[in-house]
Amino acid sequence: MLKGSEVKSCRNAKVQLVDSYATFEGNEVFLVKAHIAEYAQGGPHFNHPPTRKRKLLLHKREILKLKSLIAEKGYSLIPKRMYFKNGMVKIELCLAKGKNQGDKRQSLKEKDEKRSIDRELRRKK
């Protein structure tokens, strides 16, 4: 459920879904840490807090299905993209599993290799 100023900011592509996730509170789903910038023409009285918790409108069967999938260890709901359909803002949610220790070592190794390559390229210039 978005406020009017949030919808206008979404139309202006002023949305960041980085580090955001969806949580369950009772039989409701909320989007947490999604940053929707304040609407520039809104003024101080008609704007919204940029990172407030937003309720996602889902059917009951969708909520129950997602809740049963989340019950498994290590899974979380991550918003993949936000789009408009018939004038309404929609969010595509993905079921994601966190990395285990082995995966982290591999990604750290790749990060170090990339950093050393960039360092060498800067030295050659």
The average pLDDT across 85-106 equals 84
* Chain center to CA of 6: 15
Q: Sheet of 75-85: strands edge to edge?
A: 54-56, 28-32, 21-25, 75-85, 88-97
Per-residue pLDDT tens over the stretch 34-48 = 988 888 777 777 778
Domains (range + CATH), the chain: 4-98 (2.40.280.10)
* pLDDT of the residue at 87: 86
pLDDT score at 6 = 80
| Residue 14: per-residue pLDDT | 84
pTM of the model: 0.70
